[in-house]
Amino acid sequence: MTTTRERDLARPPLWRDVRVLRVLGQVGAVLVVFLIFRWLVGNLLTNLSRLGISTSFDFLFGPTNFQIPYASEFNPRAEVWQATLVGVKNTFLAGFFGIILASVVGLIVGVSRLSENWLVSRIATVYVEFFRNIPPLVVIIFFGAAVFTNGPFPLLRESWELNWFGTDNAFLLINNDRWGVPGFAGTGELGLFWLIVGIGVVVGAVVWRWRTKAFDATGQPHHRVLWFLGVVVAFFVVGYLATGQPFEMSWPALSENRRRIDGGFEVNWGFMSVTIALGLYTASHIGEILRGSILAVHTGQSEAANALALTAFQRYRFVVLPQAMRIALPPTINQYLNLVKNTSLGTAVGFADLTAFTKTSIGNGRPAFQSILIMMAIYLSFSLVISLILNILNRRLQLVTR
């Protein structure tokens, strides 16, 4: 039996103990990084003080003093932080609709690449090889310059409109540099209405979970999507009636000078160029990820589906894709993050996103260091929120082993 003294004699000295050396190495690395960071910050503050540049963030509460493109409702006398929110909103919208477009097109392309139809598979291959091997900035410039600015739409000398089933209301209105589509205009208490709709979404999620548990217990069809949509629509209707119809349909129409679009929802060509370009570019990568994930599903799964006489659509819908998504989602998260960050390239086509606003703000005398720091923090927040949501979904999709 080993005594305490024998264990102490067998233990190496501190300067040779691997555990001690590992801790000292980590502490030393942290200390070196801290000293370098402190030197950089001190050097920055010294140079800013020498140049007479303030390190305060008080400029956020001063007037903007410039107009944001395609934001006619924005008042240039508004404070800088309010203008920053406009840039954040534009970045969010471009990223949101770009992710939807990339997901839908990527799914179609990924499945088409494995199609037994020679023409379909070759078209999907050409699509992937074309977009995947072109820089996203070039794709954005192509849509901004070759399609919209100098493409077929400016050939419309006058504004063109498509009316809603023979009425005088325009369903689609194309002006010289923007499109108008139907939207909604607030007429009442929208806050309470959206609160009721939000409660409906939460209740719908509870119903979704209930239907899932019922399916697991009984094997009966869950129809959870229909249940969820039914609950949300019911709360939507109740909220709309209970709050006194807080909004109404707004149709796009040309202003008196025929240079602006009043009413409806206005979409400018910069936004469409960035959203379509990044959506199609990212879809080429997502399509390849999905194709590889489908190939990673064991062929016995498809053979079992064929043995059950499932159609090709049913085989993908109920057997192959649910298993492939478990493999495809982690790398797809990175593609979504890249898409949101690549919206900053929209400055090349005049898209008024967060980056474009920051550059304009700095050009109008705002401090560059604080402005860029705020921009970086916002992009970081976008990435962290997207990662959090999709990682939660990823954990939900993973199989639990026992």
β-strands 261-262, 253-254 pairing: antiparallel
Radius of gyration of the chain (CA): 28
CA 397 vs CA 214, 324, 384: distances in Å: 18, 10, 20
Residue 263: both structure tokens together? 């009413």
Map tokens 């080993």 to a residue: 2
Residue 134: both structure tokens together? 């072109």
Q: What are the start-end ranges of the E strands in 226-324?
A: 247-250, 253-254, 261-262, 265-268
Report helix, strand or coil for 296. helix
CB–CB of 296/327 below 8 Å? yes
Q: CA 235, CA 229: separation in Å to the nearest integer?
A: 10
Count of beta carbons in the 10 Å neighbourhood of residue 380? 10
Report helix, strand or coil for 45. helix
Q: CA 107, CA 289: separation in Å to the nearest integer?
A: 10
Bridge partners of residue 262, in order along the sequence: 253
CB–CB of 79/61 below 8 Å? yes
User: For each of the chain's 402 residues, which pLDDT tens digit applies?
Assistant: 555 555 555 677 777 778 888 888 899 999 999 999 999 888 988 888 888 887 888 888 888 888 887 777 788 888 988 989 999 999 999 999 999 999 999 999 999 999 888 999 999 999 999 999 999 999 999 988 888 777 666 544 456 777 777 677 777 777 667 777 787 777 777 888 889 999 999 999 999 999 888 888 887 888 888 999 999 999 999 998 888 888 888 878 777 666 677 777 778 888 999 999 999 999 999 999 999 999 998 888 888 888 888 888 888 888 888 888 888 999 999 999 999 999 999 988 888 889 998 999 988 888 888 899 999 999 999 999 999 998 888 887 776 655
Dihedral in degrees, nearest 10, Cα atoms 206, 211, 215, 221 = -150
Is domain 80-182+251-397 in CATH 1.10.3720.10, yes or no?
yes
CB–CB of 197/232 below 8 Å? yes
Residue 324 one-letter amino acid: A
Cα angle 57, 59, 62; round to 5:
145
